[in-house]
Amino acid sequence: MGSTRVGAVARILTAAGLVLGGPLAAAAPARADQSVVTAAKPRGGDKERLLFRFKDPRIDESSGLAVSRLHKGVVYTHNDSGAGPQFYAVGPDGATLATFTVAGAQARDWEAMAASVDPSTGQSVLWFADIGDNLNGAWPDYSIYKVAEPTTLRDSTLQATRYRFRYKDGGRNAEGIMVHPTTGRLYVVSKEFSGSVYEAPAKLRTDKINILRRVGDAPIMATDAAYAPDGSSFVIRTYFSASLYRAPGELISKVTMPALEQAESITYTADGKSLLTGSEGLHSPVYQVPLPAAVAASGGATATPAPTPSHGARPSRVSGVPDASASGAAAGDKDGGVPAGLIALWVGVALGATGIIAAIARRAG
């Protein structure tokens, strides 16, 4: 959410219903799911269920979520801006099992995380994205940190590898990262009214700034993203709902999400049959949302990503988590099926709030 001061102002405005994520956003999913794109329904009559609430009072702005690849039933999360470079291992009852400090890392505005397997070593790794930039270009560069997933769940410090990034087309705010499960390639999803998916270089460098290149569209104001475990698709979360894509611009379906105070995170379960989604706030909930049987079974584990496109072309089939799949999806539906009138109202209110935040930030600076 940016600096501590700006984040506090944003939260005040959110509480008043003036900024994204407040009552306006909370009311949107029901209406959005009745519009152009058909929302996927849970399989077999299954419904979303509250998996747990975070019990640790230190977890008050959960902004990223990832499922452990080494510890069954464990998920990882981290706080938003204003917190240190720490993350938490959380058990199936919401209790914190271990707290980890990331050495060699800063936490200006950690907005997303991902879990993957390093294709060159087979090692399970975690990624933490310091990519929030509420002033859209105020930062000279952005950092994403990689650590080896801890093999033991006890409080400890982990050494990070830092990768620095710039966008080829200029700085911007972002809250989502995805890592392809087969190639290990990193993608960043911007949080904008006209969002984008950005592709990192195939080989990341620690001795120079890595350039992120735009490879496709993303829905309006994306707050998180994830790849399917089988690499066949990816999911992008917004304040309104979630959308499953084969590739940017190739929408499979929208997925109805539970109403949350400020929807911030999304990831897949290890088996790819459900999504997990969470929110900011003290003792915030994490919900499990089953995927339709047709969707969960449609992306075979042998899916192979297409070659990386040239600059300006649509991106390779990046993997997302098995999320929604339903017929009637309109390819390239930029707003994810949100009614135009609601978008216009939302954009106008949010732009006004953003101006207030920026003015306060300039005065505070």
| CA-wise closest residue to 275 among 322, 237, 316, 213 | 322
pLDDT of residue 75: 98
Task: Tell me how far apart the alpha carbons of residues 24 and 148 are, in angstroms, rounded to a whole number.
Answer: 39
Which position has the higher pLDDT, 26 or 161?
161
Whole-number pLDDT of residue 348: 56
pLDDT exceeding 70 applies to what percent of the chain?
68
Distances, alpha carbon 138 to alpha carbons 2, 153, 327, in Å:
10, 37, 41
Distance, in Å, from the CA atom of 88 to the CA atom of 98, rounded to the nearest integer, reads 6
Question: What percentage of residues in the chain have a pLDDT greater than 90?
Answer: 56
Higher pLDDT, 35 or 268: 268
pLDDT tens, position by position, 88-122: 999 999 999 999 999 999 989 999 999 999 998 99
Asked whether the whole model's pTM tops 0.85, one would answer: no
> What pLDDT is recorded for position 341?
47
Q: What is the mean pLDDT of residues 132-146?
A: 89
For residue 40, the model assigns a pLDDT of: 55
pLDDT exceeds 90 at position 204: yes
Each residue's pLDDT tens digit, 37-52:
445 555 445 689 999 9
Structure tokens at 52: 């747990």
Q: What is the pLDDT of residues 64-78, one digit of tens each?
A: 999 999 999 999 999
- From edge to edge, which strands make up the β-sheet containing 96-103? 62-67, 75-79, 86-90, 96-103, 156-159
Tokens of 180: 């392809």
Write down the pLDDT at residue 195. 93
Work out the burial of residue 227: count CB atoms within 10 Å of its CB; fewer than 13 is exposed, 13-18 middle, 19 or more buried: buried
pLDDT at residue 3, as a whole number:
38
Judged against a pLDDT cut of 60, whether residue 322 lies above it is answered with no
Per-residue pLDDT at 316: 33
Query: Which helix (H) or strand (E) segment is 244 a member of?
Result: strand 242-247
pLDDT above 70: residue 25? no
Q: What is the pLDDT of residue 246?
A: 85
Q: How are the residues of the chain apportioned to helix, strand and coil, as percentages rounded to the nearest 5?
A: 15, 35, 50
| DSSP β-ladder status, 285-290 and 263-268 | unpaired
Contact 111, 189 (CB under 8 A): no
Ordered alpha helix ranges (H), the chain: 4-15, 23-32, 293-298, 340-364
